[in-house]
Amino acid sequence: QVQLVESGGGLVQAGGSETLSCSASGRTFSLLSMGWYRQAPGQERKFVAAISASGDNTYYADSVKGRFIISRDNAKNTVSLQMNSLKPEDTAVYFCAADQDSGKNWRPTYFGMEYWGKGTLVTVSS
C-alpha cells in the first residue's frame, strides 16, 4: 500500500505564493504517477495538476496553468505544488493522490487515483 502525507497550507494573501509538499511511503516512489486535487466546501473534488512517474510529463487544469508548478523529487519521495499569484478562488482543501500506473501513456483521472492523502487547507484572503 501507499501512504501519502501533505504538508504546508495555511493562510495567504491574494497575489502571494505558497508551496505544498506530499511525502509518499510504502511503495517505490519512482513507479507512482502523482497528482494534486482540490475541493472547496459543498463542491466536487477537482483536478489541479499531475506529473508522470518519470517526471517527463506534467498536466494542469486551465484554472491554474501558468501559475502553479508541479514537481517531484524521487530521492526524497516527495511531490510538490508551487502555487503563485494566488486568488481567493484557489481556497480549498488540497489533496495529494497517487496511481500505481507508471506507463508512458498514463493520463490523470479522478477514479484512476488509488491512494489519497488526508488533505491540507489553503485559504487565500482578498
Q: What is the mean pLDDT of residues 7-16?
A: 97
Smallest Cα–Cα separation from 49: which of 72, 26, 31, 77? 72
State the average pLDDT over residues 12-19: 98
pLDDT digit string, tens, across residues 71-106: 999 999 999 999 999 999 999 999 999 999 888 899
Q: How many CB atoms lie within 10 A of CB 60?
A: 18
Query: What is the pLDDT at residue 55?
Result: 94
Question: Across residues 51-67, what is the average pLDDT?
Answer: 97
d(CA 92, CA 103): 30
Residue 104, pLDDT score:
85
Instruction: Provide the pLDDT for residue 34.
Output: 97
Separation between Cα atoms, residue 25 and residue 95, nearest integer Å: 16
Please tell me the distance from the alpha carbon of residue 40 to that of residue 12, in angstroms, as a whole number.
16
**Number of neighbouring beta carbons within 10 Å of residue 39:** 14
Confidence band, pLDDT 50/70/90 cuts, at residue 31: very high
Per the DSSP assignment, residues forming a β-bridge with 4 are: 24
Q: What value does the mean pLDDT take over residues 60-66?
A: 98
